[in-house]
Amino acid sequence: MTEHDTYDVVIIGGGPAGLTAAQYAARSDLKTVVVDKSPAASAIAFAERIENYPGLKEPISGRELIEILREQALGFGAEYVEAQVIGVKLEGEIKEVYTIDRTFRGRSVIIATGAMGRKPTIKGEKDFLGKGVSYCAICDAAFFRGKTVSVIGNTEEAVKESEVLSRFAEKVYLISPTEKLKVAEDSVAVEGNVEVLRGYIVEEIEGDEVVEKIHLKRVSDEGDEYLPVDGVFVYLHGSRPIVDFLNFAVDLSDEECVITNRLMETNIPGVFAAGDVTCVEVRQAVIAAANGCVAALSAEKFIHGRKRRKYDWAKSK
């Protein structure tokens, strides 16, 4: 690993906070990378219609807004890598951000993973975590080669993860709590070994040492069914800050949001946070973007050891 491979800023998360931070960081000539699990997993991607983001002449979908923000960041030279961060090492001068197949090294890190997380709510989910229950198909699919797995969720993320698993598992059940998936039906080009079960709630994940079966309830008539599976991949969303990959490396509040000051600094020098993952009062795209801007300017100040923030790089060029 050379000095050349080290980024000035590694941004975790590619929602409005992370992408705005990327735009400001890259525009200030910082070597910047955004490591993002999936654009489909950003909270804004669930919004069909955005009309309150400043500057919009017409309402657009959340996906379109994300696309614009990403193009803007890439236009200033930021890199974008689609990968899930599974761990970090934040102490020291050079910080490390880990995905399943790569380590990103950075002089600073901006945490911008949003608040679509949830506590394990399905009976057995917590008990079988790592014993058949997983939240990361890319990380764990290979353990289920030739086996039967279920994916719980109805979003684009759940469909994508089913596709990943279908390359390893013999059979994949995509279990949707709703009759319709939250994606265009014609985009659900799942492989032959993926079967979509619509309108089912998973009541319990059962087994002895490891996962053996799931207990399903049909939403329409509450009928019970049991499905033998070796693995359960959960892609349901909630409204809790996504901080599991941090393993308490930065200070969190009792509500498990990342604590920052108004400069978006965490308790660790060179580590900043922005958007819904922080203890922000109002969860809106404009606030997340504004936080991202402040975090990037604070990272720039940190890296160059400036006393003050610099705002406009265009003028000095």
By CB under 6 A, is residue 43 in contact with ligand FAD?
Answer: yes
Which segment (72-80, 107-115, 142-150, 167-175) binds ligand FAD by CB under 6 A?
107-115
CB of 19: closest distance to ligand FAD in angstroms? 7
C-alpha span between 30 and 224 (Å, rounded): 56
Q: Return the number of the residue (47 or 196) whose C-beta is nearest ligand FAD.
A: 47
Q: Are 150 and 214 in contact (CB under 8 A)?
A: yes
By CB under 6 A, is residue 276 in contact with ligand FAD?
Answer: yes
Residues that bind ligand FAD (rule: CB under 6 A) add up to a total of 37
C-alpha span between 69 and 275 (Å, rounded): 15
CB of 169: closest distance to ligand FAD in angstroms? 22
- Return the residue of 28, 113, 154, 266 that touches ligand FAD, per CB under 6 A: 113
Helix (H, G, I), strand (E, B) or coil at 160: helix
Helix (H) / strand (E) element for 68: namely helix 62-75
Can you point out the beta strands (E) in 127-242? Answer: 133-134, 148-152, 171-176, 194-198, 200-207, 211-218, 224-228, 231-234
Helix (H) / strand (E) element for 110: namely strand 103-111
Which segment (16-24, 160-168, 200-208, 306-314) binds ligand FAD by CB under 6 A?
16-24
By CB under 6 A, is residue 285 in contact with ligand FAD?
Answer: yes
* Residues that bind ligand FAD in the complex, under the rule CB under 6 A: 12-18, 35-39, 41-44, 46-47, 50, 52-53, 84-85, 112-114, 116, 242, 245, 275-277, 283-286, 288
